Amino acid sequence: MPGLPEIEVGDRVRIVANPETTAVGWAGHQGTYYGFTTPSVTGIEAIGLTGDLALNVGFGDGVDQWFDPSLVQRLGFDPEDTMAIGEKHFVRDVDGNWVPKPN
């Protein structure tokens, strides 16, 4: 999809420091990228939103927040991370690909 960031689900990210992220206390926080949405369709509110695309970042304390893509910086990924979607399980390989994991 055009305009999407070069970030994949499960990537480690950092929230860019700017006046808006600093004011709300998210500047410099690190988390995990969970996905994206179109705020005009879903009605979510995102920090620093300048267009119609927002990225969701989850933090270690179980909290997640939506941000404008320009405020989310990719740091990398962790090989051997796991993810489940319904009954399907995946593991991340050393190249960053999500590989189906045998049950």
At 12 the three-state DSSP class reads: strand
At 92 the three-state DSSP class reads: strand
* CA 50 to each of CA 2, 18, 21, 61, 75: distance values in angstroms, whole numbers, following the listed order: 16, 14, 14, 27, 22
The number of C-alpha atoms within 13 Å of 65 and in the hemisphere containing its C-beta is 24
- Entry pTM: 0.84
Q: Compute the distance between CA of residue 34 and CA of residue 86 in angstroms, rounded to an integer.
A: 15
What would the pLDDT profile of 7-65 be if each residue is shown by its tens digit?
888 899 999 999 999 999 999 999 999 999 999 999 999 999 999 999 999 998 889 99
